[in-house]
Structure formats: structure tokens, C-alpha cells
Structure 1
Amino acid sequence: MDEVRAEIDRVDRLIVPLLLERLTYIAQAGHIKGDRDTVRDQWRIEDVVSKVKAEAEKLDGNTGYIEDIYRHLIEWSIAHEFVVWDDVNAEQKRTAR
């Protein structure tokens, strides 16, 4: 069991930096989008889910597992992007006065 846990920890050490890198791009999107209504983009959500499921399928992996994780990740990312968008636009309103 110790070896299995050590491998899980190793994989987590690889995943965390990638998730944090992904989050930087989510924040960039929050700075770029001009309209709050464009933060949630259903087409893009389905596009991302489709791509990650296809990648899992190529690897003969559990597509349901990947879809569930990504749908949660996307929802969290959208919530974060709304916060960034709101902060950026509140600051722009303050400096415009």
C-alpha cells in the first residue's frame, strides 16, 4: 500500500502545477472578455469536455471519470473567472471616475 500511495502522491505532484497553470489562463480570460455574459460559454464547455473525453478514450481510460472531473473543474473555473472579471471591471470603473 505504501508504494501505491507514493505513486498517487507522485502523480499529484505532476497534476497540481498543471492545474495552477490552467488557472492562470482562466484569470487571463477574465481580463480579456469584454462582457460578463461571455464568461459562461456553453459551446466552449462542451468543446473542452469533448476533447478531454476523446483524449481519455485514446488512452483507453474511463471517460466518465474524466468528464465528471472536468465538468467540476470547468464550473469552478467559471466561478473564478466571474470573480476576476468583476474585480477587473470594478477597478476600471473606479479609475474612470
Structure 2
Amino acid sequence: MQKTPAECTTMADVRAEIDRLDRALMVLFAERWGYIVRAAEIKRPLKLKADIPARVSEVKENARRNAVDLGLEPEFYEQLWAQLIEQAIAHEKRLLGEDER
């Protein structure tokens, strides 16, 4: 049964909840990755590049703003999202054949 942080009374409780959340985050990352693949499929016939700097900036700013809104450290989450974006662009480039040019 899921517990809130306040309901956790042992380290085992805390660890179980962290493990549960880590799995849930991975499920969300997998879902996000599906959209990255779909973006490449949509970009191909439109002859769009994998890297669209305006969108990269927008996603990083969204991460920063969301972190602030949730009381999290914005620089850390912006950097984390920058890594997600970098990986996604590299994957899209492979899918679009941009890494072969």
C-alpha cells in the first residue's frame, strides 16, 4: 500500500516508496520516449531537423519553471532536462539519418 512520506515509519517504508516512485518515473520516461520517436516520424516528411533550438529553450524553461513551482532546485532540473533533450536529439538524428551526413 502506498504511503505518504509522513506515513513512513521505517527506512524500509521509505525505500519501498522511493523504489515505487523510481519505477513510476521510468514508466513516464518510456512514455516520453515514445513521443520522441513519433516526433522524428512526423519531422521526416516535413524535412525538419532533430534539433530545433527554440523548442530546446522552451523545454528547458518549462523544466525550470516546473521545478520552481514545486519547490525544487531549478538549476538541477534544468540540467537534468538538458541531458534528456540531448539524448532525445541524438536519437532523433539517428532516426532521421542526420548523423550520417
| TM value normalised by structure 2 | 0.76
- Give 1:74's aligned amino acid: I
Aligned-pair identity (%): 35
**Pair 1:29 & 2:17 matched:** no
How far is 1:30 from its partner?
Answer: 0.7
How far is 1:14 from its partner?
Answer: 1.0
Paired position in structure 1 for 2:66: 55
Aligned partner (choices 84, 87, 91) of residue 76 of structure 1: 87
Paired position in structure 2 for 1:67: 78
Looking at structure 2, the residues matched to 21 and 61 of structure 1 have their Cα atoms a distance apart, in angstroms, of 23
RMSD of aligned residue pairs (Cα, Å): 1.7
Paired position in structure 1 for 2:53: 42
Aligned partner (choices 14, 18, 24) of residue 28 of structure 2: 18
Query: SS of 1:39's equivalent?
Result: coil
Aligned length: 86
- Give 1:22's aligned amino acid: R
Structure 1 portions without partners, runs of 5+: 87-97
